[in-house]
């Protein structure tokens, strides 16, 4: 592949590596803010213009110059079966033939809810919405209503969507753009949200000593500041103090739900949250979100209870068709053991190379999700440690991978995904490319 030219590009970015993407980005910048419809799609933090994707199949995506890339972004998580899985596509096509939306009840809503409640022990009832952001917003409204309390506790670097009260010390695109919060949010709205360091239970205890907390919301595995695992009994300690203080525990499983097995991460950690939030995989690539929990909590939702939530496209039949097909395929074929094997292979290859050559980076990997942190700190445990990463080196790494036909998330602060569609030869090629890049930058 050709090297990326160094000349200036819109917003002082370098030109991308493909011609048609450059032309499309030029057009987009004139009519779309920043040229993108979501900040995480911007390549500004890797000093390039974004690549425009035309199609995807299996483990590959193809840009507008028909250049192929092995994809480890996977639409930021939903595509655990790979792009355009035949059964998912067929379900979408057949459902769409009967109508795209009704704004009325339909049978797939029941089928979807039955699958979720069957596979997740902590959920008695489920309400489907249109996005993870909407699901979280509803979950916290539920928690406040159920407890009669107002304060929400979250964790620095965890991202729970862009609703007003949660854009405090958030992760994902906010980190890329150096935004601690967001303009347009009154102080009165964020005054009831408290954010503390991830993996710091002492900070959690101090908050509970000073405030009457309605709910603690957490990514059980942090995936929006890069991959950071919970330490020791961190999650169990949070669950215990929530129970003691009559606060609700909300697990944001938008990324972790159905990622490691046909169910939630909570059941793997032997924790039963009061409310769980899902997205991504449960929609098979279509827009979706869901809130689930115990019956006595969920019955607070209108029309049974006083907590209002509504949506014209909530429970959209096409989105549910994709989700149902995906969840059925995951349950039937159980691709998880093979995904975990590929993940372990990749981790061993890269970690051994880092250790043998004393390289200034850390590789975090867990059951098919991974992040390469460009830092010498061997204890990546929270946002404060992640912020010390070498972002200039990450940008070089990202562009190197693109030149080697590998597409990874264009952010140091995001995770990457191994899907059922990736072959072991593709995983080896990924590992070899990472090792080759590191060998070129041992002195940095």
In this predicted model, what pLDDT tens digit does every residue of 344-386 receive, in sequence order? Answer: 999 999 999 998 888 889 999 999 999 999 998 888 899 988 9
Count of CB atoms situated within 10 Å of the CB of 138: 23
- pLDDT at residue 90, as a whole number: 98
pLDDT, mean over the chain: 90
| Confidence check: pLDDT of 8 > 80 | no
Mean pLDDT of 326-338: 98
Cα–Cα distance, 414 to 318 (Å, whole number): 28
Query: Which has the closest alpha carbon to 341: 418, 264, 403?
Result: 418
Mean pLDDT of 229-248: 97
Asked whether 327 and 88 are in contact (CB, 8 A), the reply is: no
Mean pLDDT of 318-333: 98
Cα–Cα distance, 130 to 313 (Å, whole number): 7
* pLDDT tens string 19-45: 788 899 999 999 999 999 998 888 888
- Beta carbons within 8 Å of 263's beta carbon, 6+ residues apart: 119, 120, 257
| Confidence check: pLDDT of 4 > 50 | no
Query: Which has the closest alpha carbon to 343: 355, 351, 332, 353?
Result: 351
- Which residues share a beta bridge with 365? 370
pLDDT range class, residue 71, cuts 50, 70, 90: very high
Cα–Cα distance, 146 to 298 (Å, whole number): 9
The backbone torsions φ and ψ at residue 26, rounded to the nearest 5 degrees and listed phi first, read -55, -45
Cα–Cα distance, 159 to 29 (Å, whole number): 26
- pLDDT at residue 387, as a whole number: 87
- pLDDT at residue 373, as a whole number: 96
Asked whether 368 and 374 are in contact (CB, 8 A), the reply is: no
DSSP classification of residue 249: E
DSSP classification of residue 166: G
pLDDT range class, residue 167, cuts 50, 70, 90: low
- pLDDT at residue 171, as a whole number: 40
Asked whether 140 and 217 are in contact (CB, 8 A), the reply is: yes
- Which residues share a beta bridge with 366? 369
- Residue 203: CA count within 13 A, CB half-sphere: 14
Higher pLDDT, 27 or 185: 27
Asked whether 256 and 220 are in contact (CB, 8 A), the reply is: yes
Asked whether 290 and 259 are in contact (CB, 8 A), the reply is: no
| Confidence check: pLDDT of 304 > 70 | yes
| Confidence check: pLDDT of 174 > 60 | no
Cα–Cα distance, 118 to 263 (Å, whole number): 9
| Catalytic (active-site) positions | 159, 252, 280
| Confidence check: pLDDT of 443 > 80 | no
For helices 317-333 and 107-119, give the axis angle rounded to 10 degrees: 40
What percentage of the chain carries pLDDT values higher than 90? 77
Of the listed ranges 158-162, 180-184, 223-227, 295-299, the one predicted with least confidence: 180-184
| Confidence check: pLDDT of 113 > 60 | yes
In the chain, the domains with their CATH numbers are 10-72+390-440 (3.90.1150.10), 86-333 (3.40.640.10)
Q: Is the dihedral of CA 251, 382, 406, 44 positive or negative?
A: positive
SS (H, E, C) 256-275: CCCCCCCCCHHHHCCCCCCE
Q: What is the DSSP string of 54-94?
A: EEEEBTEEEETT--EEEESSGGGTT-TT-BT-HHHHHHHHH
Count of CB atoms situated within 10 Å of the CB of 196: 19
- pLDDT at residue 142, as a whole number: 96
Alpha-carbon Rg for the chain in angstroms: 21
| Confidence check: pLDDT of 444 > 60 | no
């Amino acid at each position: 592949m050709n090297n990326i030219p160094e000349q200036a590009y819109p917003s002082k970015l370098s030109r991308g590596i493909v011609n048609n993407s450059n032309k499309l980005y030029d057009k987009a910048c004139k009519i779309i803010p920043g040229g993108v419809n979501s900040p995480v799609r911007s390549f500004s933090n890797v000093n390039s213009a974004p690549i425009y994707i035309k199609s995807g199949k299996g483990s590959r995506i193809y840009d507008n110059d028909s250049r192929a890339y092995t994809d480890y972004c996977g639409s930021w998580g939903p595509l655990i079966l790979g792009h355009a899985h035949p059964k998912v596509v067929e379900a979408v096509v057949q459902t769409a033939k009967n109508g795209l939306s009704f704004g009325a009840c339909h049978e797939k809503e029941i089928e979807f809810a039955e699958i979720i409640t069957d596979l997740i022990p902590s959920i008695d009832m489920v309400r489907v919405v249109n996005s993870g952001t909407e699901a979280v917003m509803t979950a916290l409204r539920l928690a406040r209503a159920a407890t009669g309390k107002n304060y929400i506790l979250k964790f620095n670097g965890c991202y729970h969507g862009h609703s007003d009260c949660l854009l405090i010390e958030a992760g994902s695109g906010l980190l890329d753009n150096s935004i601690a919060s967001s303009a347009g949010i009154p102080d009165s709205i964020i005054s009831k949200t408290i954010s503390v360091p991830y993996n710091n239970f002492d900070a959690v205890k101090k908050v509970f000593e000073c405030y009457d907390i309605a709910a603690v919301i957490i990514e059980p595995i942090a995936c929006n500041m890069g991959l950071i695992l919970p330490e020791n009994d961190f999650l169990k300690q949070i669950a215990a103090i929530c129970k003691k203080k009559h606060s609700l525990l909300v697990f944001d499983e938008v990324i972790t739900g159905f990622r490691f097995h046909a169910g939630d991460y909570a059941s793997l950690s032997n924790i039963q949250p009061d409310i769980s939030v899902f997205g991504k995989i449960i929609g098979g690539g279509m827009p979706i979100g869901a809130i689930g929990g115990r019956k006595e909590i969920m019955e607070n939702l209108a029309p049974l209870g006083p907590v209002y939530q509504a949506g014209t496209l909530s429970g959209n039949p096409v989105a549910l068709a994709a989700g149902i097909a995906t969840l059925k395929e995951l349950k039937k074929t159980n691709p998880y053991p093979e995904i975990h094997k590929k993940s372990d292979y990749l981790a061993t290859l890269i970690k051994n190379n880092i250790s043998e050559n004393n390289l200034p980076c850390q590789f975090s990997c867990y059951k098919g999700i991974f992040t390469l942190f460009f830092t010498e700190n061997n204890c990546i445990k929270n946002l404060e440690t992640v912020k010390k990463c070498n972002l200039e080196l990450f940008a070089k790494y990202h562009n190197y991978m693109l030149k080697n036909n590998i597409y990874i998330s264009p952010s140091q602060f995001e995770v990457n995904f191994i899907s059922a569609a990736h072959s072991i030869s593709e995983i080896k090629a990924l590992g070899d490319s990472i090792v080759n890049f590191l060998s070129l930058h041992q002195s940095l």
